[in-house]
């Protein structure tokens, strides 16, 4: 909301998020389309339909009510729609796949069973298009590796090295998005493989 007020059409915006994510079968009210939690439903109401959705979990998100206390991809996509900047880059060091030790995916329990995001679900929910790009930590089915040494996610580690110059593949003194993306993909895949993970940004 603050960026929507401040950013001018000539601006470029970078939004970076590192943390935990989760995906699962999220109840959705068929009347309004608003997300609700199973715990908030009481007798007499219309049973909600469910769909597989992804959610970012913040430090004050509640595990018993992730959809009401977290930030869904659709929430973020709606917020991005209000930003008038000519270019917006999202860097999302968060996993939505299966929870694994050493990863950044939070287990939601039974509601996540059998729930798998479609391959293009993340980009579609964010409404990516002209002037909007996102660098995801991995595929929807993958978790995002958290490195024990640097205390950072693997995507963050590779992104930081890349923007500091390691991704300048043509040595022209500039790092463009194509160079950065190629560098991050190569570095993350390689390091994740050494740790026994599959992670494809």
Q: Give per-residue pLDDT as tens, 105-132.
A: 777 765 554 556 777 888 888 888 889 9
Q: From CA 156, how far away is CA 150, in angstroms rounded?
A: 10
Residue 164's contacts (CB-CB under 8 Å, 6 or more residues apart) are: none
Q: What angle do CA 40, 31, 123 make, to 5 degrees?
A: 90
Please check the confidence at residue 47 and state whether its pLDDT lies above 70: no
Q: What would the pLDDT profile of 71-88 be if each residue is shown by its tens digit? A: 888 889 999 989 999 999
| pTM (2 d.p.) | 0.80
2-5 — which CB contacts under 8 Å span 24+ positions? 3/83, 3/85, 4/79, 4/82, 4/83, 4/84
Please check the confidence at residue 5 and state whether its pLDDT lies above 90: yes
* Beta-sheet strand order (sheet of 49-57): 20-28, 49-57, 71-72
Q: What does the pLDDT read at residue 61?
A: 86
Give the pLDDT band of residue 98 (cuts 50, 70, 90): confident
Q: Which of 37-46, 96-105, 111-120 has the lowest mean pLDDT?
A: 37-46
């Amino acid at each position: 909301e603050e960026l929507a007020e401040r950013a001018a059409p000539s601006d470029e915006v970078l939004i970076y998020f590192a943390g935990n994510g989760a995906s699962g079968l999220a109840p959705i009210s068929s009347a309004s389309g608003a997300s609700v939690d199973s715990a908030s439903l009481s007798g007499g109401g219309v049973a909600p339909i469910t769909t597989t959705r992804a959610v970012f979990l913040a430090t004050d998100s509640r595990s018993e009510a992730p959809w009401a206390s977290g930030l869904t991809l659709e929430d973020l996509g709606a917020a991005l729609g209000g930003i008038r900047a000519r270019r917006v880059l999202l860097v999302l060091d968060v996993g939505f796949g299966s929870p694994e030790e050493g990863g950044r995916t939070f287990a939601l329990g039974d509601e996540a069973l059998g729930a798998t995001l479609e391959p293009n679900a993340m980009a579609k929910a964010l409404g990516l298009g002209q002037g909007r790009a996102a660098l995801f930590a991995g595929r929807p089915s993958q978790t995002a590796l958290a490195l024990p040494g640097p205390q950072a996610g693997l995507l963050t580690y590779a992104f930081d090295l890349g923007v500091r110059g390691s991704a300048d593949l043509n040595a022209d003194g500039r790092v463009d998005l194509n160079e950065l993306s190629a560098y991050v993909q190569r570095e993350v895949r390689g390091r994740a493989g050494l740790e026994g993970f599959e992670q494809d940004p």
